[in-house]
Structure 1
Amino acid sequence: MWSVAFRPDGRTLASGGSDGTVRLWDVATGENRTIVTGQNDGVTAVAYSPDGRTLASGGRNEGPDRAVRLWDPTTGRLRSTFTGHNQAVETLAFSPGGRTLASGGYDGTVRCWDPTVGNAPTVLRGHSRVVRSIAFHPDGRTLASSGDDRTVRLWNLDDGRHRTLRIGQGFTVNSVTFSPDGRTLVGGSDGGNIWLWNANGGNARTLFIWPGIGMSSVAFSPSGRMLAGGSASGLLWLRNMHSGSIRTFQISSTGAAHSVTFSPDGRTLASGSDDGLVWLWDTDTGTARSPLIGHRDAVDSVAFSPDGRTLASGSEDRTVRLWDVATGRTRSTLTGYGGAVESVAFNRNGRTLASSSKDGTVRLSDVPLPDPAEAISKICHAVHRELTVQEKSAYLQSRAYRRSCPSS
C-alpha cells in the first residue's frame, strides 16, 4: 500500500498500491470497489479534490504508467489522462480551491494542471532530481516542493518564479507541509532533522533542531501555535512557534518515539514509543499523565478522535487499541492483523477508524461511542473527586459549570 487519502466528507477511503489498482473503501460498510488504473507498475499517489468529486492517481515507471489520471470516484469512470512526465509520478496535491492539481515526478519537474482541461500544464523546472513532496500554501498561490537534489523550493504560481531553500550537509527533505496559518514551512529530512522556514516573504531562515538526532514524527497543533516532534532516541520536543522556546521530555530509554499527535483542542499531546507505552502530555505545563499500558510491542501510530475523547494507537504487536482519554483505560482492542499496524486515522465524525498494516491491508472499523452518562461515571470513579473546571471543559463541555460527580 503506497498511498491513502480520505474523501473530504470522510465516507470513502482511497488507497493505491503496487498491484496497479485504486480501491475505494466505503467507510460505513468496509466494502470496496476496485478501479483498474492501467498503471501496472503501481499507483504511487492518490489525492481527492477538495469537493470530493474527483480522484487523482499517479503511477510509476514505463509508458502510460507515468500519466496522471482523474477519475469520477462515484462511477469509477476515467475522466482524463494527463501526460507529460518523462518518468514516474511520485506525489500529487490539489490546491485548496481545487482549481489546480500539482504533480511531482522522478523527472525533477513539478507540473500544475487545470483539472478541467489538463493540456499544456505549467511546468516548474528547477529540481535536478526526484521531486519527493509538494504542498500548497493555504492561499493557493504558493507551492512548496522538495527533492533528492537536497533543496526545497517555493514557487510563485502567478509568475512561475521560485526561491530555493538549500539544505546542505547531504540531507534530502522527504516531506514538506505548511502550518495552518501559512507562516511556516516545515520539512523532514532523511538525516532525522526538522527544518523550519519563514514562508511569508523576505529571506527564508532555516532553524535546525538537534541535527542528527533522528526525528521520527512531527505534528502541528490545530492552531499552528505549537510544533511537536519525536526522535529516534526517545526524546519528545515541543516548540512554541511564536516565542521560539523549546521544551523536551525523555519518554523512552529503550527506543524511538514513533508518533506524536495533538488533541483537537491542542491541550493534549499524545505520543507512542518503542517500549509499547502511550503517553498523554499537558501542552501548557509539560506534565505527563501515567502512561497508557497495554501494547506488548512498539507503538507506531496514534490518532485522536474528532471530539478528543478517544485515542487510537497502532502497534507492532498487531493490534489497535482504543483508549478512553479521560480515564486512560482501554475501551476496546482490535485484533486479527497479519502484521504491524503502522497507521491509524479517524474519519470526520469519529465513528470509523482506518488502519493500515504491514500485511498489506487497510481496514475500516466501527468505533464504539460511549454513553455520556456511562463516561461521566467512569471518570468520577477513576479520579475519586469532583472534576475541576478545566477537566470539565476538556472532557464534558456540556457540563462545564455543573456538578458532574455524585457526592460521596
Structure 2
Amino acid sequence: MAPPRYRAVKKNDISASFKATKPVLFSESLGRPSGLVQKIACVDWSPTGSLLATCTTATIRIWNAERPNVKSSTEIKNAHAKGGAAFGAPGVSGDNVEKIAFCPTAEGTLASSGRDGMVRLWDARIPGAATNIGGKGTALADCRTGSEGPFLTWHPNGREMLLGRVDDQIYSIDVRYMTSADGTSSYSLEATERIHRGNGTYYQMAFSNTGREVFASTKGGSVKIFDYPSMSLLHTLSGHPETTYTVQQSPAGTYVAAGSADSNITLWDTHNWFCTHTLSSLGQSTSIKDISFSYDGTYLVAGSGDMARDVGGGMAVYHVDTGEVVHTVETINCPTFVAWHPTRYWIAYAGDPGGLKVVGGAGTLV
C-alpha cells in the first residue's frame, strides 16, 4: 500500500503553515550538554517516512519518526568497524561511516558505505515494528569495494546502487548478489561492475527519476549528465564558477538543482536545460553541501557546509517555480544536512546544536 500523500500548500500559505508548528528535537544527548552531541554526517527518510536515519562517523541511528525519544530509536555501533564487527567477527571501533541511504522500494532496508571499503545493507526496522526476521539494526549483506566510498546512491528500481570511490572510480552494485549474513551468496569488488572512471573529482551522483540518466556534481563546477548504464556523457550544465557539491532532480521531474561552493543554487529546466533561477543562501558566504525537494517538487531547502557559529543561522524554504524565499526556519547555525519527508511538508535537518530536528508545515490528506 502506497503511503498517503497530502494536499499541496500554496506559496502564500506555506509560511503560516510552518509558523504553526515548532521544531521537534531528536536528541541523543539524554540530558548532556548539546556540545557533546556528535556531528551528524547524513540524514535520510525511509520511503514512507516512518523511519528517519542519521549517522555520525562512528554510528548509525534509526529513529521512529513519530517518537523523538532516543529510547525509541535503534543505534548501530561500529557499523563499519575494521575487521567486520557487523557480521560477528572481531572488530576495531573507529570513525568509519561515510554515507547512509534508504532503499527507495523496501521500507526496512538501509545501505551504508564506510572507510573500511565496504557497502552494507541493514534491516532498519525499529523495535516494536512488525518483523518476521532480523530488525533492530541487523546486518543483512555486504560488498567489499576496496576503498572508502564518499557517496552512495540508489537506483529508483531499488536493486542497484552507485558507489563513488575516493580514486574517482564509479561502481555499480547489484544488491541481489551481495554477500548475505549467513554466507549463502557471495559478491565482492571483482564481481561488481566498474562503469566509469572520472578524470576529475565527483562529489555526488544522483539518478534521474527514470533511472536512465545520472547527474554528477564536479570539482570544476559543472554538472555532468551521463547515460545509464553506459555512462556516456550526454550534456554538461555550466552554471557555477566553483565546485558543485550536490545535485538532485525534483520529484516532478521539471527541474534539476545544483548546490555550489559559490553559495548559490542553480535551478535547471529539464525541458530546455536553461537555468531559470539562481538561489542565494540568505546572503551568507557558505558552501551548499546538501539540497532537498519537497515530495511534490514545489519547494526546496539547502544545507550549508559551514558550521562555524559566526556564520549565522536560518534555513530558507524556496518556491521552485518562482525562486522566492517563502519562509525562513530560524536556526542558530546553518543546517548542514536537510531532507524533506517523502509525503509531508516536514523537513529533517542537522547542524544546529543538539542534533537532529524536524520541522513541519500543516497538511491535510488528499
TM-score, length of structure 2 as denominator length:
0.62
Match of 2:182 in 1: none
Match of 2:127 in 1: none
Q: 1:10 aligns with which of 42, 46, 49?
A: 49
The answer on whether the counterparts of 2:101 and 2:153 sit within 8 Å (CA) in structure 1 is no
Match of 2:330 in 1: 335
Match of 1:32 in 2: 68
- Residue 290 of structure 1 aligns to a residue whose secondary structure is strand
Q: 1:251 aligns with which of 239, 257, 262?
A: 239
Deviations 1:245-293, CA, capped at 9 Å, x for gaps? 421122221x211211111132310111112211111234321113123
Residues 237 and 107 (structure 1 numbering): CA distance in 2 closer, same or farther, change over 3 Å? closer
AA partner of residue 293 (structure 2): F
Pair 1:188 & 2:224 matched: no
The answer on whether the counterparts of 1:174 and 1:190 sit within 8 Å (CA) in structure 2 is yes
Pair 1:365 & 2:340 matched: no
- Superposed, 1:342-361 pairs within 5 Å as 342-357=336-351, 359=353, 361=355
Match of 2:272 in 1: 285
Match of 1:145 in 2: 143
Deviations 1:94-118, CA, capped at 9 Å, x for gaps? 9866898989888888888998566
- Superposed, 1:223-262 pairs within 5 Å as 223-241=210-228, 244-253=232-241, 255-262=242-249
Residues 183 and 113 (structure 1 numbering): CA distance in 2 closer, same or farther, change over 3 Å? closer
In 1, the alpha carbon distance for the partners of 2:109 and 2:195 equals 31
In 2, the alpha carbon distance for the partners of 1:103 and 1:60 equals 12
For structure 2, which runs of at least 5 residues remain unmatched after alignment? 1-39, 124-130, 178-189
The answer on whether the counterparts of 1:314 and 1:321 sit within 8 Å (CA) in structure 2 is no
Deviations 1:334-372, CA, capped at 9 Å, x for gaps? 22233x422111112232101111645222112367x9x
Cα distance, 1:207 vs structure 2: 3.7
Q: Name the larger-Rg structure.
A: 1
For structure 1, which runs of at least 5 residues remain unmatched after alignment? 37-54, 69-81, 123-133, 137-142, 151-171, 372-408
Pair 1:173 & 2:143 matched: no
The answer on whether the counterparts of 1:307 and 1:350 sit within 8 Å (CA) in structure 2 is no
AA partner of residue 313 (structure 1): A
In 1, the alpha carbon distance for the partners of 2:240 and 2:245 equals 10
Pair 1:266 & 2:242 matched: no
Number of matched pairs: 286
Match of 1:300 in 2: 289
TM-score, length of structure 1 as denominator length:
0.56
The answer on whether the counterparts of 2:44 and 2:53 sit within 8 Å (CA) in structure 1 is yes
Cα distance, 1:322 vs structure 2: 0.7
The answer on whether the counterparts of 2:51 and 2:65 sit within 8 Å (CA) in structure 1 is yes
Match of 1:49 in 2: none
Pair 1:58 & 2:76 matched: yes
Residues 116 and 100 (structure 1 numbering): CA distance in 2 closer, same or farther, change over 3 Å? farther
Greater relative contact order: 1 or 2 (C-alpha under 8 angstroms, separation 6 or more)? Answer: 2
The answer on whether the counterparts of 2:212 and 2:228 sit within 8 Å (CA) in structure 1 is yes
The answer on whether the counterparts of 2:205 and 2:215 sit within 8 Å (CA) in structure 1 is yes
Cα distance, 1:239 vs structure 2: 1.6
In 1, the alpha carbon distance for the partners of 2:244 and 2:112 equals 32
In 2, the alpha carbon distance for the partners of 1:207 and 1:293 equals 35
AA partner of residue 331 (structure 1): V
% identity of equivalent residues: 22
AA partner of residue 347 (structure 2): L
Cα distance, 1:67 vs structure 2: 6.8
